[in-house]
Structure formats: C-alpha cells, structure tokens
A and B are shown apart, each in its own frame.
Chain A
Amino acid sequence: MSPRFREGLRAGVPYGFAGALLAISFGVLARDVGMPAWAAILFSLLVFAGSAQFAALSVLGGGGGAAAAVIAVALMNSRFLPIATAFGPSLPGGPFRRAAQSQAVVDVSLIVARNPDGSFDRDLLLGSTAAQWVGWQTGTVAGALGGALIGDPEALGLDAMFPAFFLFLLIAELRRGRVASGVAAAGALIAFALVPVAPPGVPILAASLAALWGLRERKAAPA
C-alpha cells in the first residue's frame, strides 16, 4: 500500500461514512420498489453510483420499464464522461489499463485526487474511492437486509449530507479566484435552468460545458 494510497484512503473516509448512510436508504428503497435484497446488493457492487442507482429505482418505482431505468442511469452518470476523461492523461498504462483504472472515478475524485499542479494522482484516486466503495457496499447490505430495523435515514436528514460535502468543496473552489467563481455560477445557472426541461442528470452534464471557459486561458494556471 503506497503512502499516497493510504492518504487517499484517509481522505475518503468521511465520504465513505456518509455514503454508507445514504446506501442504507438505497437498500431500503430498493426493497420498497420490489427489488430482491440480493439484487440491490449486486446493483451497488456492479454499478457503484449513488445518484444513478436512486434514479433507476425512481423509474422502476414509478412503473417505468427496465429500458427506461437503464437510460436514467446513463443520463445520471453522463457527467462521468467529462470527469473520467479529465483523469485519462494522469493514469498510467495503455488504453485498457487506463479505462480500467478510470472506473474508480467518483464525484469527489476531482478534488481529493488532485495534485497541486492540476493533474491527478492514481493512488490518491484508488485510495479515496476504496474507502467510499466499502461504505457504499456496507450500507447497501445493511439497508437491503435490515432496513426495517434501521428505519428511514431520510427522516434523520442524512440526504443533506452529500450536498453539504459538495458545497464545502465548492466554497473551497470559489476561493481559488474569480474565474472559478464565474464558472461555478454559470454551471449552477445552466443546471438550474435545465431542471424542468431535461431529464435528471442532463442538467449536470450540461453544466460541465461552463468549464470550456478554460479554453480562453493562455497559460496552465487558470482560476
């Protein structure tokens, strides 16, 4: 275990803990919409994407078909197209190895796996995601098998935890300067405006277009 991996592991623990609580909700909700416990657990093992898994449940629970649920997952995860692409040049190995390692990319990777020079560290990425992966799987098992005993985490306000994490990280980004703040404002406006007219996930993907402001930069140090 490299020091950077261990550092990533430590950085990932708070997100892993919050993810575990959220995953309990996922397990409970999956059972509510008629998914067997083993399927809920398999879902988390193979897909490992909170918002996308919730989106699939909401389609299935609303009477939508399997194809519609998969489309919901694809749209919700579409933001990982630009996010994972950003990691490409920082990952070692050939195309297949890079694509395999990029499976570890999650939302907070953009922050916790970042080097001071703006590139990304592979071991920080793997370590921080490992901590979150353990939390997500543990929570799913607990929710799917013991949900009735645990109760509804949403009543405890635990759904506010991840947006609060994101807000903390966002505020740190805003302090990087006026360019970052302007791009954040543009991203927020794009997402907000698209909410009523685009399916869930698309507003977030579209907001990433605000980062194209960086094309105006002449030098490597933006923000």
Chain B
Amino acid sequence: MSTATALWVIGAAAVVTVLIKGIGPFALGGKPLSPRFEAVIALLAPALLAALVVTQVLADQDRWVLGADTAGVAVAGVLFWRGTPMLVGVAVAALVAGGLRAVAG
C-alpha cells in the first residue's frame, strides 16, 4: 500500500466520521425535547444493540455465518440471563470461542 493511499483513506475516513457524528448535534440542540423524540431515543439502544449483536455473531461481511464466537456469545447470553456479572460472562465468551478454535485447530 502506498503512503498516498494510506493517507487518503485515513484522511477521508476521519472527515466522513466527523461529519456523521457532528451533523445531528450541530443541527439539533439548545431546546427541550418533545416527548416523542425522547421515546425514540430511548428505543435506539435496544434496536441498535440487537443489530450489533446479530451482525457481529451471526454474520461475516455479507454472509450469515455461525462460528466459534457465535457459540461463545450464546453461552454468555445464557449466563447473563441468569444474572452472571458482565465481566464474568464476557470472559466466558472469549474462553469458549478461543477454546473451540483451539480444539478445531
């Protein structure tokens, strides 16, 4: 990869990211929220978290894939549901995924 290519990608990616994160708060603020807007915001977390989990553990790029990480996160999910603390479940997810990969060679 040429230095020019790397710089081009990094510079443009930085500008695009700043614009994506900045445009909403630039346009919106300084006045109280309508209750409906608040309700939509409150529901962004479950919608996006669910989508992040699905795309990270059930997909690779544009394909549906089940992998060792799927199993690890599924085990963590069961533990979380039963009240296991966050860091314990996260560690278990990594151990299960890594363990399965080690076994599968």
Query: What 1/0 mask marks residues of chain A from 60 to 85 whose CB sits below 8 Å from any chain B CB?
Result: 10000010011001100111111111
Query: What 1/0 mask marks residues of chain B from 89 to 101 whose CB sits below 8 Å from any chain A CB?
Result: 1101111111111
Query: What 1/0 mask marks residues of chain A from 186 to 201 whose CB sits below 8 Å from any chain B CB?
Result: 1110111001111110
Q: Report how far A89 CA is from B30 CA in the complex, Å.
A: 6
Q: Report how far A214 CA is from B45 CA in the complex, Å.
A: 12
Residues of chain B in range 68-94 having any CB-CB distance to chain A below 8 Å: 68-69, 72-73, 76-77, 80-81, 86-87, 89-90, 92-94
Q: Which of B1, B14, B32, B45 contacts A169 (CB 8 A)?
A: B45
Query: What 1/0 mask marks residues of chain B from 2 to 31 whose CB sits below 8 Å from any chain A CB?
Result: 010111111111101110111111111111
A-chain residues with CB within 8 Å of residue B3 when the two chains form the complex:
36, 39
Min CB–CB distance A28 → chain B (angstroms): 15
Q: Report how far A70 CA is from B21 CA in the complex, Å.
A: 16
Q: Report how far A121 CA is from B57 CA in the complex, Å.
A: 30
Q: Is the CB of B29 within 8 A of A88?
A: yes
Q: Report how far A155 CA is from B14 CA in the complex, Å.
A: 30
Q: Report how far A154 CA is from B16 CA in the complex, Å.
A: 28
B-chain residues with CB within 8 Å of residue A46 when the two chains form the complex:
10-11, 13-14
Q: Report how far A118 CA is from B45 CA in the complex, Å.
A: 11
Q: Is the CB of B36 within 8 A of A215?
A: yes
Query: What 1/0 mask marks residues of chain A from 123 to 150 whose CB sits below 8 Å from any chain B CB?
Result: 0000000000000000000000000000
Q: Which of A47, A171, A217 contacts B13 (CB 8 A)?
A: A47
Considering only CB atoms and an 8 Å cut-off, how many residues of chain A contact the other chain? 110
Indicate whether A52 reaches chain B with its CB closer than 8 angstroms: yes
Q: Which of B23, B39, B42, B51 contacts A207 (CB 8 A)?
A: B51
Indicate whether A20 reaches chain B with its CB closer than 8 angstroms: no
Indicate whether B54 reaches chain A with its CB closer than 8 angstroms: yes
A-chain residues with CB within 8 Å of residue B54 when the two chains form the complex:
188, 191-192, 195, 203
A-chain residues with CB within 8 Å of residue B13 when the two chains form the complex:
43, 46-47, 52-53, 56, 69-70, 73-74
Indicate whether A95 reaches chain B with its CB closer than 8 angstroms: yes
Q: Is the CB of A56 within 8 A of B9?
A: yes
Q: Report how far A179 CA is from B39 CA in the complex, Å.
A: 11
Given the known inter-chain contacts A95-B27, A192-B58, please indicate yes or no for A168 contacting B48, CB distance below 8 A: no
B-chain residues with CB within 8 Å of residue A220 when the two chains form the complex:
35, 38-39
Given the known inter-chain contacts A18-B90, A33-B1, A70-B16, please indicate yes or no for A160 contacting B49, CB distance below 8 A: no
Q: Is the CB of A160 within 8 A of B8?
A: no
Q: Report how far A216 CA is from B38 CA in the complex, Å.
A: 11
Q: Which of B9, B22, B33 contacts A70 (CB 8 A)?
A: B9
Q: State the B residues within 8 Å of A (CB).
A: 1, 3, 5-14, 16-18, 20-33, 35-59, 61-64, 68-69, 72-73, 76-77, 80-81, 86-87, 89-90, 92-102
A-B contact pairs, 11 of them (CB 8 A): A60-B9, A66-B9, A66-B12, A89-B28, A102-B21, A107-B52, A160-B96, A166-B53, A188-B54, A199-B62, A223-B46
